[in-house]
Amino acid sequence: MAVIEDGRALFVDEALDDAPRDLQELLEGGRDQLERVQSAVQRARDAGAACPPVETLRHASAVLRPPQIIAIGANYAAHSDELKLRVEKAATVFSLWPNSLTGHEGTTSWPADLSDQVDYEAELGVIIGRPARDVSVRDALDYVFGYTVVNDITARNLQFSEAQWSRCKSFDGFTPTGPVVVTADELRDPQDLWLTTNLDGRILQDSSTADMVRSVAELIALLSESVTLQPGTLISTGSPGGAGYSRKPPVFLKDRSTVTVTIGGIGSLTTHCRVI
């Protein structure tokens, strides 16, 4: 699906017989594939193809088959302080599991006996567009295909009782992404975006990506020192202050809570919660 002006969508498979089946296949096809799809979309628009409003559609995760989901912890000083985490000289890096991916307006559920301390985290998601290996900070953003919104949902009781962070953040549906991917040419400065989290009508996070400890470019350069970042890799770049765990009293996601994470220039990602 390609999003065009006025918040409308054009289904690529209606414009191109052998269209890539998802974003991952598009990225693996390289620049030629992207240009072919862009040309087909433009022809379809010029021919008056039907373009329904995006808001009327059912959303999947913004990425469906990423080769890796890399998460960055403690990348905003305020969030590190409130969780009593040290801002280390080296970045905190861990993986999220693909079963955790879900889309905008989806419902995420978890067992009550496993966690009653489920928290929200607004994060900027970065999607790599071409293989990146040992790239410089100066050139790092040239390897970005686009950006999306991530809610890094976390079971805090597990986070602080286990030595690693992957399980507490990788329950089924704990990584909502979307509603769209905005290409890098339309969002040139990832360090000038405003993030908010609205939980049941209450704004609980309200910050800027300018407050990152390590910028998007610095993260890509760092990660690519030791591994080739493949096209489609999703990097979740950390959350600002305002987490529910640190509030007095704490504020956690509950049965039938609705949480919306918004990033300026990208959109709003809404998740409905059920405790089972």
What does the pLDDT look like over 174-228, one tens digit per residue? 999 999 999 999 998 999 999 999 999 999 999 999 999 999 999 999 999 999 9
Position 208: which residue type?
S
Residue with tokens 């009508």: 201
Measured CA to CA, the distance from residue 119 to residue 174 in angstroms comes to 10
pLDDT > 90 in the chain, percent: 80
Q: What is the pLDDT of residues 64-121, one digit of tens each?
A: 999 999 999 989 976 456 555 555 567 899 999 999 999 999 999 999 999 999 999 9
pTM for this one?
A: 0.93
Q: Contact 158/169 with Cβ under 8 angstroms?
A: no
Q: What is the pLDDT of residues 141-160, one digit of tens each?
A: 999 999 999 999 999 999 99
Q: How confident is the model at residue 20 (pLDDT cuts 50, 70, 90)?
A: very high
Domains (range + CATH), the chain: 2-56 (no CATH), 69-275 (3.90.850.10)
Q: What is the pLDDT of residues 228-253, one digit of tens each?
A: 999 999 999 999 999 999 899 999 99
pLDDT at position 7, please?
82
Position 144: which residue type?
V
Residues 6+ apart with CB under 8 A from 228: 131, 132, 133
Helix (H) or strand (E) holding 260: strand 258-263
pLDDT at position 39, please?
93
Secondary structure string (H, E, C) spanning 17-50: CCCCCCHHHHHHCHHHHHHHHHHHHHHHHHCCCC
